[in-house]
Chain A
Amino acid sequence: MNTFGIPELGRFFVLASVAFASMGAVTGLAAGARRSLQGWRWAKSLALGFAGSMIAANLLMIWALISHDFSVLYVAKVGSLSTPLYFTIVSLWASLDGSILFWGGILGVYVGAFALIEGDRRREYTPWALGVLLAVCVFFAMLVASVADPFARVTPIPPDGPGPNPLLQNHWLMAVHPPFLYLGFVGMVVPFAMGCASLLAGRLESGWLAPLRRWFLVPYAFLTVAIMLGGWWSYEVLGWGGYWAWDPVENASFMPWLTGTAFLHSVMVTQRRKRLKTWTLLLLFATFLLTLFGTFLTRSGVFNSVHSFTQSDIGPIFLGFIAVVFTATSVLVAVRESVLESEAPAGEDWLTRRVGKVHPLSRELYILAQNLTFTVFTMVVLLGTVFPLVMEAWDGTRLSVGQPFFDRFALPLGLMIVVLMGLGPALPWGRMKQSTATRRVLMPFIPAALLGAATLPFTEFSLITAQAITLCTWALWLNLAEYATPVRQRMTSQNEPVFTAATRAFLRARRRFGGHIAHTGIIVVVLGITASKGFQETSEVTLTPGQAVEVGGYEAVFTGAEEVMQDHRKSLVANVVVRHNGADLGVLQPALNYYPRQREPIPAPDVRAGFTHDYYLSLMAVAPDNSWVSLKVMRTPFVTWIWLGTLITAFGTLIALWPTRARARATAPSAQGAPA
Chain B
Amino acid sequence: MSNQGPLLALGALLVGAGALAWVAMSSLEDNKVYYYSPTEVMEKQAVGTTVRLGGMVEAGSHHFDPAGPTLDFRVTDGQKSLAVHGTVAPPQMFREGIGVVIEGHLDDKGTFQAEQVLVKHDNEYKAPEDGQMPDIEATLADR
**Cβ distance B106 to chain A, nearest Cβ, rounded Å:** 17
Q: Which residues of B contact A404 (CB under 8 A)?
A: 30-31
Residue tally, chain B, CB below 8 Å to A: 44
Contact A621 B91 (CB under 8 A): yes
Q: Which residues of B contact A350 (CB under 8 A)?
A: 6
Contact B136 A620 (CB under 8 A): no
Contact B125 A351 (CB under 8 A): no
A211 in the interface (beta carbon within 8 A): no
Contact B6 A400 (CB under 8 A): no
Contact A408 B27 (CB under 8 A): yes
**Cβ distance B73 to chain A, nearest Cβ, rounded Å:** 14
Contact A409 B24 (CB under 8 A): yes
- Bound-state Cα–Cα, A77 to B125, Å: 11
**Cβ distance B90 to chain A, nearest Cβ, rounded Å:** 6
Contacts A166-B125, A384-B28, A599-B122; A621 near B34 (Cβ below 8 A):
no
Q: Which residues of B contact A673 (CB under 8 A)?
A: none
Contact A398 B35 (CB under 8 A): yes
Contacts A77-B127, A352-B6, A596-B136; A399 near B89 (Cβ below 8 A):
no
Contact B24 A402 (CB under 8 A): no
Interface string of A599-636 (1 = CB under 8 A from B): 11100000000000000000011111001101000000
B109 in the interface (beta carbon within 8 A): no
- Bound-state Cα–Cα, A628 to B35, Å: 32
- Bound-state Cα–Cα, A311 to B123, Å: 9
A118 in the interface (beta carbon within 8 A): no
Q: Which residues of A contact B60 (CB under 8 A)?
A: none
- Bound-state Cα–Cα, A565 to B20, Å: 55
- Bound-state Cα–Cα, A542 to B90, Å: 10
A-B contact count (CB 8 A): 124
User: Which one, A563, A592, A595, contacts B92 given CB within 8 A?
Assistant: A592
Q: Which residues of B contact A660 (CB under 8 A)?
A: none
Q: Which residues of B contact A630 (CB under 8 A)?
A: 69, 88-90
A395 in the interface (beta carbon within 8 A): no
**Cβ distance B127 to chain A, nearest Cβ, rounded Å:** 6
Contact B2 A311 (CB under 8 A): no
Tell me which of B5, B90, B92, B124 has the highest count of chain A C-beta atoms within 10 A of its own C-beta.
B92
Contact B123 A400 (CB under 8 A): no
Name the residue on B nearest A162 (C-beta). B128
Contacts A405-B27, A540-B89; A600 near B6 (Cβ below 8 A):
no
Q: Which residues of A contact B59 (CB under 8 A)?
A: none
Interface string of B6-27 (1 = CB under 8 A from A): 1001100000000010001001
Contact A542 B31 (CB under 8 A): no
Contact B66 A600 (CB under 8 A): no
B121 in the interface (beta carbon within 8 A): yes
User: Which one, B9, B10, B121, B136, contacts A600 given CB within 8 A?
Assistant: B121
Contact A401 B32 (CB under 8 A): yes
Contact A308 B123 (CB under 8 A): yes
The main secondary structure of chain B at its interface with chain A is loop
Contacts A352-B6, A400-B52, A404-B31; A620 near B125 (Cβ below 8 A):
no
- Bound-state Cα–Cα, A165 to B124, Å: 10
Contact B6 A380 (CB under 8 A): no
- Bound-state Cα–Cα, A16 to B141, Å: 50
**Cβ distance B14 to chain A, nearest Cβ, rounded Å:** 13
Q: Which residues of A contact B125 (CB under 8 A)?
A: 95, 165-166, 309, 598
Contact A544 B66 (CB under 8 A): yes
Name the residue on B nearest A406 (C-beta). B31
A570 in the interface (beta carbon within 8 A): yes
- Bound-state Cα–Cα, A597 to B90, Å: 22
Contacts A349-B3, A601-B92, A623-B66; A563 near B140 (Cβ below 8 A):
yes
Contact B123 A398 (CB under 8 A): no
**Cβ distance B131 to chain A, nearest Cβ, rounded Å:** 9
- Bound-state Cα–Cα, A485 to B32, Å: 50
Contact A600 B93 (CB under 8 A): yes
Contact A594 B2 (CB under 8 A): no
B139 in the interface (beta carbon within 8 A): yes
Q: Which residues of A contact B139 (CB under 8 A)?
A: 594, 596-599
- Bound-state Cα–Cα, A380 to B123, Å: 28
Contact B89 A401 (CB under 8 A): no
Contact B136 A570 (CB under 8 A): yes
Within 8 A of A (CB), among B81-134: 88-94, 119, 121-128, 132, 134
Name the residue on A nearest B142 (C-beta). A599
**Cβ distance A246 to chain B, nearest Cβ, rounded Å:** 11
Within 8 A of B (CB), among A296-311: 301, 304-306, 308-309, 311
Contact B140 A351 (CB under 8 A): no
**Cβ distance A65 to chain B, nearest Cβ, rounded Å:** 16
- Bound-state Cα–Cα, A618 to B20, Å: 40
Name the residue on B nearest A569 (C-beta). B136
Q: Which residues of B contact A383 (CB under 8 A)?
A: 24, 28
B44 in the interface (beta carbon within 8 A): no
Contacts A397-B34, A620-B92; A542 near B123 (Cβ below 8 A):
no
Given A163-B134, A308-B123, A401-B28, output 19 extra A-B contacts at Cβ < 8 Å: A349-B3, A350-B6, A352-B5, A399-B32, A399-B34, A400-B33, A401-B32, A401-B33, A405-B31, A405-B32, A408-B31, A540-B88, A569-B136, A570-B140, A597-B139, A600-B121, A601-B93, A623-B66, A630-B69
Selected A-B contacts with CB under 8 Å, 24 pairs: A165-B125, A304-B123, A305-B123, A306-B121, A306-B123, A351-B6, A376-B20, A383-B24, A398-B35, A399-B32, A399-B33, A400-B32, A401-B28, A401-B31, A401-B32, A409-B27, A540-B89, A563-B140, A595-B136, A598-B126, A600-B92, A620-B91, A621-B91, A628-B66
